[in-house]
Amino acid sequence: MVSSGENLVRLLAHYGIDTVFGIPGNHTVQLYRGLADSNIRHISPRHEQGAAFMADGYARATGKPAACFLISGPGLGNAITPLMQALADSVPMLVISSVAAREHLGLGEGRLHEVPDPRSLAQQCTRFSHTLMRPDE
């Protein structure tokens, strides 16, 4: 069976994404499993903010949309500054961040990397933000 993360990587390749910036983490394992079987190059910085700034710079230098994979919570939070810069300058950038399991979203139970509402956080610095709640989305 192919995971949602693997399908997402296939979709990115289909739309011409050739490079992804990010740091593997326990919440992005399925995305990275998908990268292994793709032609998408992965570049890992030391910090999530670096990943988003690298994606921004890549898009500016190549004229192609750039993508980064970020862990939930602090991964997305660390990317806010580069996301705001890309938004202000109309730089095409796609940020894919994991979230907690559906049944744990918004409960405030102190789970690993929990953020009360990651979608609202991202909406402040992007043109579009959406949380997939089912594999068929």
Q: Residue 22 carries which DSSP code?
A: E
Highest mean pLDDT among 28-42, 54-68, 97-111: 54-68
Query: How many separate domains does the chain show?
Result: 1
Tell whether the model's pLDDT for residue 114 goes beyond 70.
no
How high is the pLDDT of residue 71?
81
**Separation between Cα atoms, residue 62 and residue 12, nearest integer Å:** 17
How far, in Å, CA of 1 to CA of 49, rounded?
A: 33
pTM for the predicted model, two decimal places: 0.80
Q: What is the CATH number of the domain that holds 22?
A: 3.40.50.970
How many angstroms separate the CA atoms of 53 and 45, rounded?
10
Average pLDDT of 17-25?
Answer: 92
Q: Coil, strand or helix: which one is 33?
A: helix
Q: What is the mean pLDDT of residues 80-106?
A: 80
Domain around 73: 4-123
Residue 128 inside a domain? The answer is no
Give a yes or no: residue 102 inside a domain.
yes
Please give the pLDDT value at position 66. 84
Residue at 11 is within a domain: yes
